[in-house]
Structure 1
């Protein structure tokens, strides 16, 4: 099963298309089990975002297309984005506290957050080339 949303092609560059997403959520807001994020998206998100995705069907500019992401990839990404930095923060704070009291805990927590951020950046670079995790246009 896939997570779907709708977008409009704003430009075409060879085998890639630039998509402007029509919704800020995943498109499941009105369905059973949807999180309702589409209603909260405009509060935190600016103008619609544009993404560069493969265009295997060579759709033209202005085409309204369905965009899909593999089921579970969004949940896994959110889990990693929240838990990894939090665990790194706690580990840094605990180890810093053991070495240097309160000041060590603060420094360790900051170091842990830095390690968490660097780890997420590394994972993001590695996953960029995994075709199972890429946004695609569904024909």
Structure 2
């Protein structure tokens, strides 16, 4: 699990709006830490708020720890970055085989557009995967 501290600012049914205190996992100073928190502060200094599951019924003002499954980040990145990149290359390859350089350009555009449509359709009607949903641990 990946944990990050935050403060509950509001409630929304079974969810809580949590203002995160850090922009990364907070393990920057530990051995093997990537330093992502420092980079996050550089590009985003404003506090960030997220809507997360609230199974413990925390109330506004509570300091909480928000957790998410470690594989959730990898799955999301593969879906949002890997699929469009793969579709771009497949479209460019097929377009190149059919109509040369112009076909490669049009095929790449069609591949990107089709991956966008596929992701939009796949994520629209789907209930969120509980493994990918951040939640308040404590």
Q: Deviations over 1:92-128 (max 9, x none)?
A: 1011111121111111111111122233334444665
Q: Which residue of 2 aligns with 1:100?
A: 99
Pairs aligned (count) = 138
Change beyond 3 A, Cα 1:89–1:30: same
1:69 is aligned to 68
**SS at the partner of 2:29?**
coil
Change (3 A) 1:17 1:37: same
The alignment's C-alpha RMSD in Å is 2.1
5+ residue gaps, structure 1: none
Q: Which residue of 1 aligns with 2:7?
A: 8
Write the mapping of 1:1-139 to structure 2, written as runs, cut at 5 A. Answer: 2-45=1-44, 47-125=46-124, 128-139=127-138
TM-score between the two structures when normalised by the length of structure 2 = 0.86
User: In the alignment, is the contact (CA less than 8 A) between 1:128 and 1:134 conserved in 2?
Assistant: no
Q: TM-score, normalised by structure 1?
A: 0.85
Q: CA deviation at 1:46?
A: 6.1
Shift of 1:32: 2.9
CA 1:73 to 1:90, structure 2 compared with 1: closer, same or farther past 3 Å? same
Give per-residue Cα distances to partners, 1:23-57, cap 9 Å, x unaligned.
11122322333322212223444623221122122
Distance in 2, matches of 1:40 and 1:73, equals 21
